Structure 1
C-alpha cells in the first residue's frame, strides 16, 4: 500500500514493445492465413490465428447479405419484436394469447448470431400464438387504425409459405451454429478441435442441401397459405429487344424458383464461407502439427485484451521455420 504523500511509480511497456504486442493480439476475419503487419524481420514467418468464434459469426452475416429472401426473413422476425415491444398493451395481449407457453420474444444483434438463434427459436415454437395475438389486435375496432394495419401486414407475412419454410430452415441451422459457436468460445480449445468443429458443421450444411422436400412439408403444415407467393401473382415478363425471341427460355415454377434462388443460394453460400475458413484453420494446424506443439496452439476467443494486465497470449521465439505461442504464460 502506498504511503500518503509518496509519489506512486508505475511501469508501462515501451511504446515500440506495446505496438508489437498489439499486433500479436489483433485478429482478423480469416479467409486465408495472413502475415502479421510488421516491418520487423521477426514477424515475417508469423501467421495470424483469427478468432474462430468471430469468424463463424461473420459466415452468417455474409450469407444473409447475399440472399434477399434471407434478409427479408430476418427483417420480419425483427418487426414482430418491434411491434409488440413498442406497447405494453400489445405485449399483454401476446402474453394472454400464449398462456400455455412461456413466450418471450427476442431481438437480435447484427453480428452476434446466438441472439438470432434465440429469436428464431421462440418464433418457431410459438408462431400460432403470435398470429392469434396479431389477429386480435387487427380485428379490435378500438385499437389504433395504424396499429391494426401494421398487425395485418405482419400477420400476412408470418402466414406465407416462404416465411414458414425459412423459419424451419433457419431454426435448424442457427441451433447448430450456436452449439458450435459455444464450443469455439472455450479458451482452451485447440486448433485441431476448431477444424473438427468446422468440418462437422460443413457436413451438416451439405446434408441439409438435399432436404428441400422435408422443410417444404414442415412449412405446409405450419402455413395458412399452401402456395408460393409467385403462384398467386401475375408473373412479369422481360421486354424483348428487336432481334430476340422467347424460344428456348426456361420458366421455372414458383417452387423451383424458390428452391434455386433462396434455398440453394443460402446453403451454397454457407458451404463456401465455411470451407474457406476451415481451409485456413487446417493450413495453420498442418503447419504446426507434430509433437506436443499442435495441442498448445489455440484459437483466440473471448474479448480482445484492453491493456497489459489482460494479456491473453504472447508470440515469441520467432526462429526460422518455428514459432512458439505461450497461452496465459503457460
Structure 2
C-alpha cells in the first residue's frame, strides 16, 4: 500500500508513536504531509490534569495520600470487605488513561470523610489485621463515541469553565476544607509558610497564611498549569477542527442551507476551498 495514499494516522500518546520530533507520526508526515495525525484526545486531557496536579509538592503529597489509602484497602480482601460494609462507597485508585483520573479518588472520600475516619480508627486497634493479604482491583473506562469537532468544542467549554469559575472553584473548596479542619480540631495556622523573597517583593509578600498558601497552590499554580497544559495539548485537535470541523457540524450546514442557500454561502465555500487546498490531489474546492 503506497504511503502517498495515506490521509490520516492515529496512535496513543506514547512518545515513540506520537512524538513530534522522531515519533512514527512525524516520520510519516515527513514523507506525506497529507497524512494528518489525530491523537487520543481523552489521553491528552488526562495528561493535562496529571501534570497540573504534579506542579507543587503539596498537591503531589495530597494525591499520594489518597492513592496510599486506596492501596491500603485494596491490597487486603479483609480490609476491602470492612470498607464495603462500613461505607456506601468504593475507593478508587488513579487510573492512567482517563481525563477524570484526579477526580475519582477524591470524590468518595470527600462525601464520606467522617465514616472513613471512624473505620480507620477502629482498624487501628484491630490486632487481626494482616498486612500480607493482597488483592488488586482495577477498572478502566474510555468513551470513544465522539468526533473531533465535538471534542474541540468540549475542550473550549472546559477551558472557559476554569477561566470564568476559578474564584468559585477555589472558594467552595477552601470553605469545605476549613469546615472539615474545624470539625476535627485540626489547626491550620500552626505556622506561617515563608516564601523565598524575590527582588521587588515586599515584606508582606513573603509570609503566607495557610489560606493564602492554599490560594497560591490552587489558583496561581495548579489551575494555571492545567490551563496551560490544555492549551499545549489541544493544538493538534484545533488544527484538525479548523480543517474538517465544518463538515461535522451538520446542524450549522443545514441552517445555512435553509437561510442562504448552500451555493451562496461564502463562508461554506471558503471552508471547502481551504480543505481542498490542503488535499489538492484529491478534491476540487469549487
Q: TM-score, normalised by structure 2?
A: 0.65
**Among candidates 230, 246, 259, match of residue 215 of structure 2:** 259
What is the SS of the residue equivalent to 2:94? coil
Aligned residue number for residue 24 of structure 1: 9
Count of residue pairs brought into register by the alignment: 238
Residue by residue over 1:204-240, the C-alpha shift from the partner in whole angstroms, topping out at 9 and shown as x without a partner, is: 2123321222221112233324543xx214756979x
Per the TM alignment, residue 253 of structure 1 is displaced from its structure 2 partner at its CA by 1.9
1:207 aligns with 2:164: yes
Aligned residue number for residue 195 of structure 1: 152
Asked whether the equivalents of residues 195 and 281 of structure 1 are also in contact (C-alpha less than 8 Å), the reply is yes
TM-aligned CA distance change 1:214 to 1:112, over 3 Å: closer
Distance in 1 (alpha carbons) for counterparts of 2:28 and 2:166: 43
What is the SS of the residue equivalent to 1:24? strand
Distance in 2 (alpha carbons) for counterparts of 1:324 and 1:200: 36
After superposition, residues 1-330 of structure 1 pair within 5 angstroms as 24-26=9-11, 28=13, 36-38=26-28, 43-98=32-87, 102-114=88-100, 116-140=102-126, 142=127, 182=143, 185-186=144-145, 189-211=146-168, 212-223=170-181, 224-225=184-185, 227-228=187-188, 231-233=189-191, 248=203, 250=205, 251-288=207-244, 292=247, 321-322=278-279
Asked whether the equivalents of residues 36 and 46 of structure 1 are also in contact (C-alpha less than 8 Å), the reply is no
Q: Greater RCO between the two (CA within 8 Å, min separation 6)?
A: 1
Q: CA RMSD in A?
A: 4.2
TM-aligned CA distance change 1:324 to 1:259, over 3 Å: farther
Residue by residue over 1:235-283, the C-alpha shift from the partner in whole angstroms, topping out at 9 and shown as x without a partner, is: 56979xxxx9x98463222211221134431110111112233444223
Residue by residue over 1:179-209, the C-alpha shift from the partner in whole angstroms, topping out at 9 and shown as x without a partner, is: xx74xx21xx333212210011112212332
Asked whether the equivalents of residues 104 and 122 of structure 1 are also in contact (C-alpha less than 8 Å), the reply is yes
What is the SS of the residue equivalent to 1:128? helix
Distance in 1 (alpha carbons) for counterparts of 2:245 and 2:130: 66
Structure 2 gaps, min length 5:
133-140, 251-274
Per the TM alignment, residue 20 of structure 1 is displaced from its structure 2 partner at its CA by 8.6
Asked whether the equivalents of residues 49 and 99 of structure 2 are also in contact (C-alpha less than 8 Å), the reply is yes
Per the TM alignment, residue 113 of structure 1 is displaced from its structure 2 partner at its CA by 4.2
Structure 1 residues 208-217 or 109-118, which shifts more? 109-118
Distance in 2 (alpha carbons) for counterparts of 1:106 and 1:213: 26
Asked whether the equivalents of residues 67 and 94 of structure 2 are also in contact (C-alpha less than 8 Å), the reply is yes
TM-aligned CA distance change 1:116 to 1:62, over 3 Å: closer
